Structures are given as C-alpha cells and as structure tokens.
Amino acid sequence: MPTFTIATAAQLLERHHLLREIIHTGGWTLDASDVPGADNPIAAVTYDTRTVAPGSMLFVKGRFRPEFLDGIDERGVAVYVAENDHSDRTAAPGLIVDDVHKAMSLLSAEFYGRPQDELTVIGITGTKGKTTTAYLVHAILNDYSNQRAALFSSEQTCLDGRTYTDSKLTTPESLDAFRMMRQAADNGMRYLVMEVSSQAYKVHRVHG
C-alpha cells in the first residue's frame, strides 16, 4: 500500500480539482514540497478533535467552532483539511479545499487503501424499503459466499458475515465507511451491501 502523506493528499485533491491552496508557516503555496514534513506518513485520519493523536489528519467540517482547535498542536496534529484558513488557531499546515466533504471521502478512501476496490459493493437507495431490501440481499449473498458478505444498514452493521452490531446512521460518514470497509476486506469479505440515504448523497458521504 503506498504511503499516505500530505504530499500525496495534495496531489489527489488537485487531480479532483478540490485544492485551493496549502497554508503553512511560510505562507501559502500550491506545491506540497514547500511544506515541512510533506513526505511524513499520516498516522490517522479523523473529523473529531478529541481523537487527534500524533501524525493525524483532521477534517474540519460541519458545525465546527474554531476554539475546538485550541491545544491541537500539543496533541500532534500533522495537517488539517478545511474550507477556511485556521492558521490563527494552529501552526499545522492546512489543505484548503472547495468542499471538505468530498475531500474527506477521497482522502479517507486513499488512507485506508481503497477497500471498496476489494469488495463488490451493492448500494440500495429509495424512499421506502431500503432496510428490508438490504437484509434480503445480504442474506442471499452471505449464504452464497459462505458468510463473506458485509452489511451497512440503518439497523445493524456486520463486518465479518456473522457478528451484528447496532448502527448509528443509515449511511456512515465517509471516513467511517472506508474504515469499516477496510475492516470488512481484512476479514475476508467479498461483498458489501449498504443502504445509501438521500442525505448521504447530499453531503457526499459516498462521493467517489
């Protein structure tokens, strides 16, 4: 799996026409090689400041208050991805993008090694009947594949073909979805059946 760094993240965002600029202590640039530590591996990705650990990439999205970034440097944040400059709160470089939700989907997929390419993904959308249809399709595929089908539904999540846990969202945040896809693929799953809500489309949780 290729190393995921600030430099490779910037290149991916540029290819998808999402990168506006890179903010760092020396000013701003479009060339990631100007940024100190641009080739250091990113250790983790998160959208929750409370889970930032050394080497993390932080996505600044939603109802975010700038004061959430206070003290973030001491916890070792490597870079943040946002639609606005937050250099008044952190010395970490910032990848400033046109749409942070699209950026988070693309970058988290890359960080987790594009697990969607290792699975046959069946997305089910519609106004009514998504959950029922998802369970039926999952049951058929799980039987066909000898318990190698994963499930993301509004009711339950299954990442190993056998163990079911309660779900928090109909369609997980993109970062969470790719993390769970990675786990499913590593568990030997060949299929993933997932509900895709209209809200998920609206906020680009399945972008890319």
User: What are 107-119's pLDDT values in tens digits?
Assistant: 999 999 999 999 9
Tokens of 169: 């969202």
What is the second-level CATH architecture of the domain 6-111?
3-Layer(aba) Sandwich (3.40)
Q: What is the mean pLDDT of residues 56-64?
A: 93
183: confidence class by pLDDT, cuts 50, 70, 90 = very high
Cα dist from 193 to 19, 137, 190, whole Å: 32, 7, 10
Separation of alpha carbons 154 and 151, rounded Å: 10
Cα dihedral 176, 181, 186, 187 sign: positive
CATH 3.40.1390.10 domain span(s) along the chain: 6-111
Q: Please give the average per-residue pLDDT across 70-99, as a whole number.
A: 95
Alpha carbon of 162 to those of 131, 158, 184, 186, 191: distances in Å? Answer: 18, 7, 11, 15, 13
Task: Assign a CATH topology to domain 115-202.
Answer: UDP-N-acetylmuramoyl-L-alanine:D-glutamate ligase (3.40.1190)
Query: Strands across the sheet with 120-124, in order?
Result: 120-124, 191-195, 149-152, 156-158, 164-166
Q: Are 188 and 180 in contact (CB under 8 A)?
A: no
Range(s) for CATH 3.40.1190.10 in the chain?
Answer: 115-202
How confident is the model at residue 163, as a pLDDT? Answer: 96
| Pairing state between β 56-59 and 79-82 | parallel
Parallel, antiparallel or unpaired: strands 19-24 and 27-29: antiparallel
Beta pairing partners, 12: none
* pLDDT for residue 107: 97
Average pLDDT over residues 121-145: 94
Give the least confident one: 12-16, 136-140, 198-202. 198-202
Lowest-pLDDT choice from 137-141, 150-154, 171-175: 171-175
Query: Vertex 151, ends 146 and 152: CA angle to 5°?
Result: 175
